[in-house]
């Protein structure tokens, strides 16, 4: 119901809260199901890597390719969308680093900034926003996935190395870029954009195979998020005061979307003519909880994994209310 209404352009009047929750609840319920299954031992910890591997290397690339191929190339490459999103990410990263560097050092401050600025747009955002707003929203969400993986992540990884001496930031940046090149998601996005630009269509049997994998991406990815959150919570034995992670979670859920909304209003005032639903989609991307893969990066580079895991867990739990509230306000 919400998707049809939004697609028709009626996107400025408030929706009943129950109508919004009827769409968002199944997504967060699947995350909760994965968390409960892992905490109860129904899903072995050793199986989580397999779930993530299926989503990362098969299902999600197929979903991103399909949406990218079906989206006009001009929408995928909207320079104002990219500029607004990147500018807000840079402002948020700078603010978090400035506020925490003295107390935490460059490494923890940089990953604190990354977990605050990097929404879970891949595993959660694409399917959730398409369900809410219709397939037209995919053309705005997909570029944000690529920008966060390539630019935001590389910047924060480079910042995390500044305390290690001359040359460390450069080496870390090269390592981060190699990780991006090994990640199938940017390649899926690029191939989808190429298919859109050239009007290429996959042969029938291959298209159906891609479609089946794409349809599996949403439920498995959401279940896997819950499993990863439970595993992180079970592995984080050290005590972390709430003051060290709750402000970052609230900044992710409240400050980030507000910042993107303000930037969109400034762009509109300067004459930007956005694609339909581009503004609410950008704001709702920013309102998503923190990306779960940041905890893996933090562990890899020796940052405070317990703090990062708690930011992700708290932001995901609170997002059921804050994200639904943002949808109700924007729609």
User: Is 52 part of a structural domain of the chain?
Assistant: yes
Quick one: pLDDT at residue 73?
87
State how far Cα 132 lies from the chain centre. Answer: 16
The domain of 224 spans 2-6+13-326
Check which CATH number belongs to the domain holding 25 and give it: 1.20.1530.20
- The span from the CA of 124 to the CA of 191, in Å, is 21
- The span from the CA of 27 to the CA of 232, in Å, is 20
Q: Which residues of 105-143 are buried (b: 16+ CB within 10 A; e: fewer)?
A: ebbbbbbbbbbbbbbbbbbbbbbbbbbbbbebbbbbbbb
* CA triple 304-310-313, angle to 5 deg: 140
**pLDDT values of the chain reduced to their tens digit, one per residue, 331 residues:** 444 444 444 444 445 667 788 888 999 999 999 999 999 999 999 999 899 899 989 999 999 999 999 988 888 889 999 999 999 999 999 999 999 999 999 999 999 999 999 999 988 999 999 999 988 899 999 999 999 988 998 889 888 878 775 556 666 667 666 766 777 888 999 999 999 999 999 999 999 999 999 999 989 999 999 998 888 778 766 678 888 899 999 999 999 999 999 999 999 999 998 888 999 999 999 999 999 888 888 888 888 888 998 999 999 999 999 999 999 888 7
pLDDT tens column, 80-127: 999 999 999 999 999 999 999 999 999 999 999 999 999 999 889 999
User: Is 267 part of a structural domain of the chain?
Assistant: yes
CB 189 within 8 A of CB 145: yes
Nearest to 186 by CA among 137, 148, 135: 148
Quick one: pLDDT at residue 7?
42
User: Is 169 part of a structural domain of the chain?
Assistant: yes
- The span from the CA of 153 to the CA of 201, in Å, is 32
Q: Which residue has the tokens 């929706």?
A: 15
User: Is 331 part of a structural domain of the chain?
Assistant: no
Q: Kindly give, in sequence order, each residue whose CB lies less than 8 Å from that of residue 78, ignoring residues fewer than 6 positions away.
A: 140, 143, 274, 275, 278
pLDDT tens column, 302-318: 888 889 989 999 999 99
Quick one: pLDDT at residue 316?
94
- The span from the CA of 75 to the CA of 79, in Å, is 9
Quick one: pLDDT at residue 238?
65
Residue 265 in tokens: 């209003």
Q: How many CA within 13 A on the CB side of residue 322?
A: 24
Residue 66 in tokens: 């399909």
Give the chain's domain count: 1
Q: Write phi, then psi, for 293 (nearest 5 degrees).
A: -75, -10
DSSP, res 163: G
User: Is 61 part of a structural domain of the chain?
Assistant: yes
DSSP, res 1: -
The model scores a pTM over 0.75: yes
């Amino acid at each position: 119901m919400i998707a049809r209404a939004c697609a028709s352009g009626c996107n400025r009047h408030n929706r009943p809260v129950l109508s919004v929750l009827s769409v968002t609840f199944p997504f967060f319920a699947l995350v909760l199901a994965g968390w409960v299954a892992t905490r109860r031992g129904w899903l072995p910890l050793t199986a989580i890597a397999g779930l993530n591997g299926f989503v990362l290397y098969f299902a999600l690339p197929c979903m991103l390719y399909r949406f990218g191929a079906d989206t006009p190339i001009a929408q995928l490459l909207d320079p104002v969308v990219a500029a607004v999103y990147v500018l807000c990410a840079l402002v948020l990263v700078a603010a978090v680093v400035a506020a925490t560097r003295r107390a935490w050092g460059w490494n923890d401050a940089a990953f604190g900034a990354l977990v605050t600025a990097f929404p879970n747009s891949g595993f959660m955002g694409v399917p959730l926003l398409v369900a809410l707003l219709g397939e037209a929203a995919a053309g705005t969400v997909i570029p944000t996935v690529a920008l966060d993986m390539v630019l935001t992540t590389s910047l924060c990884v480079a910042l995390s190395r500044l305390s290690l001496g001359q040359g460390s930031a450069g080496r870390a940046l090269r390592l981060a870029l190699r990780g991006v090149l090994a990640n199938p998601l940017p390649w899926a996005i690029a191939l989808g954009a190429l298919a859109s630009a050239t009007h290429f269509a996959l042969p029938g049997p291959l298209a159906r195979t891609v479609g089946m994998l794409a349809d599996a991406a949403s439920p498995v990815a959401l279940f896997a998020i819950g499993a990863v959150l439970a595993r992180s919570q079970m592995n984080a034995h050290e005590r972390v005061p709430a003051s060290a992670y709750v402000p970052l979670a609230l900044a992710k859920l409240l400050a980030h979307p507000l910042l993107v909304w303000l930037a969109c209003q400034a762009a509109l005032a300067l004459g930007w003519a956005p694609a339909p639903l581009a503004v609410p989609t950008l704001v709702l991307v920013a309102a998503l909880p923190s990306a779960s893969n940041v905890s893996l990066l933090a562990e890899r580079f020796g940052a405070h994994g317990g703090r990062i895991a708690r930011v992700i867990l708290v932001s995901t739990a609170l997002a059921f209310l804050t994200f639904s509230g943002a949808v109700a306000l924007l729609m």
